[in-house]
Amino acid sequence: EQAKPYVEQGRVFLEPYLANPNWPIIAVTLALVFPIIAIVLNVASQLLLPRDRTKPPTVFHLIPFIGSAVAYGMDPYKFFFSMREKYGEVFTFILLGRKMTVCLGAKGTNTILGGKLSQVCAEDAYTHLTTPVFGQGVVYDVPNHILMEQKRFVKFGLNTDNFRAYVGMIEDELDHFLNSEPEFAAYRKGGKEDWGHFDAFEQMSELTILTASRTLQGKEVRSQMDKTFAQLYMDLDGGFTPLNFMFPNLPLPSYRRRDKAQKAMSDFYVNILQQRRASKSDEVEYDMLASLMDQSYKDGRVLSDREIAHIMIALLMAGQHTSSATMAWCLLNLAVRPDVQQAMYDEQVKHFGAPNGTLRSPTFEELKDLPVLDSVIRETLRVHPPLHSLMRKVISDMPLPATLGNASEDQPYIVPKGNFLLAAPCITQIDPAIWTNSFEWDPSRWVDPNSDAARMYAEYTETGEKVDYGFGLVSKGTESPYQPFGSGRHRCIGEQFAYVQLGTLLALIVRKLEMKADKVPPHNYTTMITTPSKPRDITFRRRQV
């Protein structure tokens, strides 16, 4: 009904043209000519107009609006390396109408991730993707100081007591998984010829969500994992894709499923909270829900049930793909490196071997003290960090440091308000100028505590400058060439949990399985995070002890 006047206006406008018998030819010609004109004008403006020296150079592109979307989207590493060669460490590229200014190198990352709140804003860069999935009132749907408080609440739940309880729970889940999941259960004998195979990313996704729900998410979520919750998760996850990032709302079934699932999942958590309050049970819960129920903001306001529900969804989504992809990459690399598998296994025997030849269960404290295991996780996150691009929106014109990029000394670049900034610590993590054999997966680089890598790691996690952004004292880490968990005020709060989850699973999997594969598959960048491309099968058999 509302559209009627517009349709009528359109009809009146088109009538004289449609009266012309040649209108189809004219229409086709215009449809062909307009894009050509747009491309010609776009190219001419880049080649002929003098460049504004106050702004970083713009990557040359043929098609307006689309810009460099294809080159960046297909292989961001290749794109960043070749643009760095052409334009220096600072350049702007067009990504579906958005102006993305990339600042490479440790100093570039520091400028973006350590940027002032008055200049850079993560909320404006991410909210259109995350708020429809997480729900309102949390993370990037609230002002930054509220997010910092919410991170404080979550950190409170990610404590040593809880981690101690999680190690045993994860071990239980893994045992159950290997004995019940068809891919693994069919190969129990460990005989010489009893080799099976599994899709590394699919199986690790399942194991990650099972262990995260048993630990962080709580028993109610775990008990629904094989039932309704799994479907809700799938539908919600279908709304957390690069398409959703570029186009927050399209009239597509996946967007409708996302919105329905968000509401249903939010209600699901709110119901759990209400039931827990009503039951007044004395049972101690080590999960995040229990912890969030006790938290209040600095002004005294307690967290509402909706906020808790939406924080829980945010944690589920933030931890799922990052950890499952990391698990898959760890296993794929181990599968092609039997020597590293053996070193991990020997480490287990050394620490947990019983006189009768069996290996006892590890504890949280013991897992933290296994250098080979640690080095495998660190190295995997160096070569295959799940997030290749960290973004911020520029909210007031931002002069960059004079030394950044190919700017002339007397005229540093100014990134205009409205541009997006893109930090890519993934590039410094494999920069040949920083690392020996930088493209090689070589865990041994971390083991010597006096190595450059170990020193960088210590600075990123412990010895570097510490800042309290409102969620407790953390290593700032913004200038580190190694930062798989980001840095500054938006630094990941799941790092320790991820190490507990990954460490426990890896240690125990290496005890139980021998794995092999011909090669590590290439990165797939068309997913929201960097996943292994298919085929990504690992051949395995039960370890004979």
Which among 421, 422, 420, 403 has a CA at the least distance from the CA of 412? Answer: 403
84, 490, 511, 536: residue in contact with ligand HEM (rule CB under 6 A): 490
Tell the smallest beta-carbon distance from residue 386 to ligand HEM (Å): 5
Which range in 33-41, 217-225, 488-496, 509-517 contacts ligand HEM by CB under 6 A? 488-496
Q: Which is nearer to ligand HEM, 122 or 273 (CB)?
A: 122
Sites for ligand HEM among residues 151-170 (CB under 6 A): 151
Residues 6+ apart with CB under 8 A from 88: 57, 405, 406
170, 332, 492, 538: residue in contact with ligand HEM (rule CB under 6 A): 492
Sites for ligand HEM among residues 376-395 (CB under 6 A): 381, 386-387, 390
Cβ 92 vs Cβ 99: under 8 Å: yes
Tell the smallest beta-carbon distance from residue 323 to ligand HEM (Å): 5
Q: Which is nearer to ligand HEM, 129 or 314 (CB)?
A: 314
Q: Does 318 bind ligand HEM (CB under 6 A)?
A: yes
First to last CA, the chain: 74
The helix or strand, by DSSP H or E, that contains position 330, with its residue range, turns out to be helix 305-336
Q: Does 315 bind ligand HEM (CB under 6 A)?
A: yes
Which range in 166-174, 271-279, 357-365, 487-495 contacts ligand HEM by CB under 6 A? 487-495
- Binding flags for ligand HEM, 275-314, as an x/- string (CB under 6 A): ---------------------------------------x
Tell the smallest beta-carbon distance from residue 211 to ligand HEM (Å): 11
Q: Does 122 bind ligand HEM (CB under 6 A)?
A: yes
Which range in 97-105, 315-323, 335-343, 361-369 contacts ligand HEM by CB under 6 A? 315-323
Tell the smallest beta-carbon distance from residue 228 to ligand HEM (Å): 22
Q: Does 319 bind ligand HEM (CB under 6 A)?
A: yes
Q: Which is nearer to ligand HEM, 244 or 322 (CB)?
A: 322
Q: Is 115 helix (H, G, I), strand (E, B) or coil?
A: coil
Which range in 76-84, 193-201, 297-305, 481-489 contacts ligand HEM by CB under 6 A? 481-489
Q: Does 528 bind ligand HEM (CB under 6 A)?
A: no
Q: Does 497 bind ligand HEM (CB under 6 A)?
A: yes
Which among 204, 126, 73 has a CA at the least distance from the CA of 523? Answer: 73
Tell the smallest beta-carbon distance from residue 227 to ligand HEM (Å): 23
Tell the smallest beta-carbon distance from residue 440 to ligand HEM (Å): 20
332, 398, 422, 498: residue in contact with ligand HEM (rule CB under 6 A): 498
Q: Which is nearer to ligand HEM, 106 or 407 (CB)?
A: 106
101, 127, 203, 322: residue in contact with ligand HEM (rule CB under 6 A): 322
Chain-centroid distance of CA 25 in Å reads: 49
Tell the smallest beta-carbon distance from residue 453 to ligand HEM (Å): 17
Q: Does 142 bind ligand HEM (CB under 6 A)?
A: no
Residues 6+ apart with CB under 8 A from 413: 54, 55, 56, 90, 399, 400, 404, 405, 407
d(CA 482, CA 81): 17
* Distances 241 to 60, 77, 207, 254 between C-alpha atoms, Å: 27, 19, 21, 10
Q: Is 468 helix (H, G, I), strand (E, B) or coil?
A: strand
Q: Is 364 helix (H, G, I), strand (E, B) or coil?
A: helix
Residues 6+ apart with CB under 8 A from 118: 395, 396
Block residue for tokens 């996850």? 237
- The secondary structure of 158-177 as a DSSP string is S-HHHHHHHHHHHHHHHHHH
d(CA 278, CA 290): 14
286, 441, 485, 540: residue in contact with ligand HEM (rule CB under 6 A): 485
Residues 6+ apart with CB under 8 A from 526: 73, 74, 242
Alpha helices in 396-517 (DSSP H): 425-428, 452-458, 495-512
- Token pair listed for 515: 């794995």
- Token pair listed for 523: 């990165």
Q: Does 326 bind ligand HEM (CB under 6 A)?
A: yes
Diameter over CA atoms, the chain? 95
- What are 524's strand-pairing partners? 531
67, 486, 503, 532: residue in contact with ligand HEM (rule CB under 6 A): 486
Tell the smallest beta-carbon distance from residue 119 to ligand HEM (Å): 15
- The secondary structure of 383-429 as a DSSP string is HS-S---EEEEE-S-EEPPTTSTT-BTTB--EEPTT-EEEE-HHHHT
Which positions lie near ligand HEM, rule CB under 6 A? 122, 147, 151, 314-315, 318-319, 322-323, 326, 381, 386-387, 390, 484-486, 490, 492-494, 497-498
